[in-house]
């Protein structure tokens, strides 16, 4: 998108969504209750579910009555969420097709993380700006969006000795600005958002923001958060977090892990290859073969191996990709004995989302002349989405999977392009010309004195 003429940057709203950390009372997993920052910045604490059996080990929990009660309650929430999860397949497919393809570099993203970020963006927009977001998410109206977010929250939230899937949110507010209280109250109740109030750009608020973010991402995203700060012009920052850590149902035997060759796009490397032999589901098509490994009290991690002559980049938009994650009577499923070899890896990536957002049809929020952010504030006109980025990390080892990601949206005040000055340009006297190539090299230059 072309750079928009900025009248003055008196407002920058940082709307950030992070997938990764245990919510903070000192950064300990399983305690998702943000603690006050320096100088008592905490203004409001959202009420989070209490941890289940926090004093038990994983084995003690599995052998206790608490485990059966928790399983029963979580399965009930899961059944409710299954009614809405299928409606998101179109959105998931679109996001993966946008962000995953690459010829020779690692890519990773969190579609769920971005869904929650987009949902929050919808909450602070209205009119066609909101409708474009809803359309991109495959949601009919704001009420359906809110019920969907509630279902996703309840089905994905888990805080037990066996599995951690912790969601939390926070606001970082300029103490001299008044916001729409109804919007903030709804985000606090529906998104569990605690509020912090202070002076953006101050050392105290920047330190509190970084610490809260690092605590809530388990220290996994410090490469991205170390430079995180609020400009003095910032009016509001919103951070949403999810920390995920789950163990395999069947662990890889560490004694079976051995150095082996991985044939990468940039050449061969030696990696630690994990091994397992088991009867498991295999899904095969003309373009790929997929195997899924179950995670304890959680979901499944699917691995997709492209068939010969199929580039891995093509799989991101393969129509059968999501079908491989939906256990069904599809005849392409079979259950052989599988000798599985999986490399231990940690992969991370960061992506600018502005082009992706436009590709998804969300364009009004990019234009200050037509965007509608009135649910957030009516004090400032001409807000537009000036920055959007997404970063994610996934680590896999013999024990299980850990994930982290964040989505950052920045809103600034701007104005539409001013009318262009009118100039007459008539080549009726001698003139000079240049011809340049795509890299800026001057291919030809000349002066025309006579024709």
**Do residues 154 and 78 lie in contact, with contact meaning Cβ atoms separated by under 8 Å?**
no
| DSSP 8-state assignment for residue 295 | B
Quick one: 51 and 110 in the same domain?
yes
Q: Which residue has the tokens 């049809």?
A: 361
217 falls within a domain: yes
Domain check: are 71 and 190 in the same one?
Answer: yes
Q: Are residues 195 and 335 in the same domain?
A: no
Q: Is residue 442 assigned to a domain?
A: no
Residue 432 placed within a domain: no
Structurally, the chain folds into a number of domains equal to 2
Question: How does DSSP assign 240-285, residue by residue?
Answer: EEEEEEEEBSSPPPGGG-EEEEEEETTEEEEEEEEEEEEE--EEE-
231 and 354 inside one domain: yes
Tell me if 412 sits within 8 A of 11, measured CB to CB: yes
Any bridge partners for residue 444, and if so which?
A: 435
Three-state SS string across 90-138, please?
A: HHHHHHHHHHCCCCCCCCCCCHHHHHHHHHHHHHCCCHHHHHHHHHHHC
440: DSSP letter: S
pLDDT at 160: 92
Alpha carbons within 13 A on the beta-carbon side of 43: 14
- Tell me, what CATH number does 39's domain have? 3.30.497.10
Does any domain span residue 127?
yes
Distance CA 394, CA 20 (A): 10
Decide which of 315, 343, 371 is a domain's last residue: 343
Identify the CATH number of the domain in which residue 288 sits.
2.30.39.10
Q: Are residues 335 and 378 in the same domain?
A: no
Positions in the chain whose pLDDT score sits under 70 = 1-40, 415-428, 430-451
What's residue 416's pLDDT? 46
**Secondary structure (3-state) at 448:** strand
Structural domain contains residue 385: yes
Instruction: Answer yes or no: are the C-beta atoms of 357 and 369 closer than 8 Å.
Output: no
Residue-range definition of the domain harbouring residue 268 = 259-343
Tell which of 322, 343, 364 closes a domain.
Answer: 343
- Please tell me the predicted confidence (pLDDT) of residue 18: 35
**Distance, CA of 235 to CA of 19 (rounded, Å):** 23
Angle (CA) 434-437-438 rounded to 5° is: 135
Taking the C-alpha atoms of residue 4 and residue 416, their distance in angstroms, rounded to an integer, is 7
158 and 218 share a domain?
A: yes
- Note the pLDDT tens digit of each residue in 137-176: 999 999 999 999 888 888 888 889 998 887 778 777 778 7
pLDDT at 421: 62
Give the rounded distance of the alpha carbon of 163 from its chain centre: 20
- How far is residue 346 CA from its own chain's centroid? 17
């Amino acid at each position: 998108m072309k750079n928009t003429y900025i009248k003055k940057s008196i407002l920058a709203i940082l709307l950030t969504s992070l997938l990764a950390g245990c919510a903070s009372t000192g950064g300990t997993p399983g305690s998702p209750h943000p603690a006050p920052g320096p100088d008592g910045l905490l203004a409001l604490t959202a009420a989070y579910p209490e941890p289940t059996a926090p004093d038990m080990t994983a084995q003690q929990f599995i052998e206790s009555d608490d485990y059966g009660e928790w399983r029963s309650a979580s399965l009930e929430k899961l059944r409710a969420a299954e009614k809405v999860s299928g409606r998101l397949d179109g959105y998931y497919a679109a996001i993966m097709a946008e962000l995953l393809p690459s010829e020779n570099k690692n890519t990773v993203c969190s579609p769920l993380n971005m869904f929650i970020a987009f949902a929050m963006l919808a909450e602070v927009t209205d009119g066609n700006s909101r409708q474009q977001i809803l359309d991109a998410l495959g949601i009919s109206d704001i009420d359906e969006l809110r019920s969907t977010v509630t279902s996703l929250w309840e089905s994905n939230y888990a805080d037990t000795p066996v599995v951690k899937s912790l969601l939390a949110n926070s606001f970082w507010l300029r103490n001299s600005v008044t916001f729409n209280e109804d919007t903030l109250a709804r985000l606090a109740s529906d998104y569990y958002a605690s509020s912090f109030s202070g002076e953006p750009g101050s050392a105290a608020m920047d330190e509190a923001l970084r610490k809260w973010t690092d605590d809530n991402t388990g220290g996994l995203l410090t490469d991205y958060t170390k430079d995180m700060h609020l400009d003095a012009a910032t009016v509001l920052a919103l951070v949403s977090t999810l920390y995920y850590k789950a163990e395999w149902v069947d662990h890889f035997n560490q004694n079976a892990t051995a150095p082996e060759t991985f044939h990468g796009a940039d050449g061969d490397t030696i990696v630690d290859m994990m091994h397992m032999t088991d009867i498991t589901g295999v899904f095969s098509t003309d373009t790929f073969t997929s195997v899924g490994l179950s995670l304890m009290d959680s979901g499944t991690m699917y691995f997709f191996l492209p068939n010969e002559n199929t580039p891995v980049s093509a799989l991101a938009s393969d129509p059968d990709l999501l079908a491989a994650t939906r256990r069904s009577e599809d005849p392409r499923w079979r259950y052989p004995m599988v000798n599985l070899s999986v490399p231990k890896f940690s992969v991370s990536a960061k992506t600018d989302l502005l082009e992706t957002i436009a590709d998804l049809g969300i364009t009004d929020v990019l234009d200050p002349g037509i965007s509608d952010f009135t649910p957030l504030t009516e004090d400032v006109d001409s807000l537009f989405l000036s920055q959007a980025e997404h970063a994610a990390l996934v680590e896999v080892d013999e024990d299980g999977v850990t994930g982290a990601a964040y989505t950052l949206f920045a809103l600034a005040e701007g104005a539409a392009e001013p009318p262009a000055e009118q100039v007459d340009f008539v080549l009726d006297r001698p003139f000079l010309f240049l011809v340049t190539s795509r890299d800026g090299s001057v291919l030809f230059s000349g002066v025309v004195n006579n024709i």
